[in-house]
Amino acid sequence: MTLEPILEPVFHVDSYGYRCGKSAHDALVITRKRCWERDWVLEYDIRGLFDHIDHELLLKALDHHCSESWVLLYVRRWLTAPMQTKDGKQERRNVGTPQGGPLSPVLANLFLHYALDRWLTVRHPDIPFCRYADDGILRCRSEREAQYLHSQLDMREVDPIAIHRDAQQTSILACVCPGCSDKSPSAPC
């Protein structure tokens, strides 16, 4: 695949989904390690990621990293190719990537790299995070900090980038064992 070797070095180190050499297990390992460093978690899920990716923003990001005009042309054609609805009608797409398409995972990571990962890195550089595809965890020092980040993500939803979080799968959690004062990764709780 032409795009993956170009885009892979661009992606954030804490992005784990759909990445060569990274796995869900790797995301769990770093999440567990960080659980001993900060006591609060803001857990989120991006609702319908593949269905809501803005084509123009995605193509702008792709154009920034890929100088091959033929790649840009074919990605644009692939993104906007008509899809058949349940009633048999053909509809042209102007947003989203085809789920199950071979390019969708790498394009979703590129979109989220700019729409979320870079935004978090620039706006909240002291907040460690881990993202696996459309699910993520932000590590916070306090419940108040987690609530603040929650409100920041809410504002991000109305931004032109529009990250649509699933409210039912977004939560603030304490990451401590009741009665456990040992903060080492080998603690029994």
N residues, the chain = 189
Query: Above 80 in pLDDT, residue 54?
Result: yes
The model's pLDDT over 130-188, given as tens digits with 9 standing for 90+, comes to 999 999 999 999 999 999 998 888 877 645 455 655 667 678 888 865 555 555 544 44
Query: What ranges do the domains of the chain cover?
Result: 3-51+103-174
Write out the H or E segment, with its range, that includes residue 129. Answer: strand 129-132
**Rg of the chain over all Cα atoms, to the nearest angstrom:** 18
- At residue 178, the pLDDT reads 56
Q: In CATH, what class is 3-51+103-174?
A: alpha beta
| Structure-block tokens of residue 91 | 């509809």
- At residue 126, the pLDDT reads 96
Q: Mean of the pLDDT values across residues 123-131? A: 96
Query: Above 50 in pLDDT, residue 127?
Result: yes
> At 137, is the secondary structure helix, strand, or coil?
strand
**Residue 181: how many CB atoms within 10 A of its CB?**
8
How far apart CA 3 and CA 52 sit, in angstroms, is 21
Q: Mean of the pLDDT values across residues 60-86? A: 94
Query: Above 50 in pLDDT, residue 102?
Result: yes
